[in-house]
Amino acid sequence: MIKRLIKRLPSDLLVRLYTAMPFKGIKNWIVYKAQDKFLVAVLGVITNESSQVLLLNHVYREEPWGIPGGWMELEAPEKGLKREIQEETGLSVEITGIYRAVYQTDPDRVELIFRGEVRGGTFRPCAEISDILYCEVGSWPAGLPDTQKSLIQEVLEKTSV
């Protein structure tokens, strides 16, 4: 309801109201309520010390193998990816850079794709991940989507030194 009301007001009036309003908390709440919402996913092409790619077996997917990732909470993106990997696998990783951001639909989301390296930990399965696999580029397991194969190769080619 607030969003529809705000969308009907002229933008110059909105700017004057925002500038004149003394309470930052209320201003931020109004801005938040007036904006469209979408999800932010963090994904990682993660390698081990042998440059093999970390893949996870996701129990809920038709094509189960894929790169690590998940939905961000209210946190820095790199921290969100590290948290997701730790929670789902028990592994600790270092994020070495961002590759790109992509807008996707169904659901509407922004995917932040990072590069990283495994630094330690011992794999332990969870409700979402039943197994992990380190593999050489091109020696993909059955059940790894073609889109992920291409993405992994792009990221590794772009970020290799």
Tell me what pLDDT residue 42 has: 97
Reported as a pLDDT band with limits 50, 70 and 90, residue 24 is confident
Please check whether residue 67 is in contact with residue 54, taking contact to mean a CB–CB distance below 8 angstroms.
yes
| pLDDT of 17 | 78
pLDDT-derived band at 128 (thresholds 50, 70, 90) equals very high
- Give the pLDDT score at 160: 64
Distance CA 149, CA 161 (A): 20
Predicted local distance difference test score (pLDDT) of residue 32: 78
**pLDDT score of 37 more than 70:** yes
Question: So what's the pLDDT on residue 106?
Answer: 85
Question: Which CATH number fits the domain 39-159, given the four candidates 3.90.79.10, 3.20.20.70, 1.10.10.60, 3.40.50.2300?
Answer: 3.90.79.10
Mean pLDDT estimate for the chain:
91
Grouping H, G, I as helix, E, B as strand and the rest as coil, residue 9 is coil
Least trusted range by pLDDT, from 15-29, 70-84, 86-100: 15-29
Residue with the two structure tokens 């009036």: 13
Delimit the domains of the chain by residue range.
Answer: 2-34, 39-159
Q: Which two tokens stand for residue 136?
A: 């050489």
Residue 132 has pLDDT above 60, yes or no: yes
Higher-scoring residue by pLDDT: 111, 25 = 111
pLDDT for residue 46 is more than 80: yes
Q: What is the mean pLDDT of residues 29-51?
A: 89
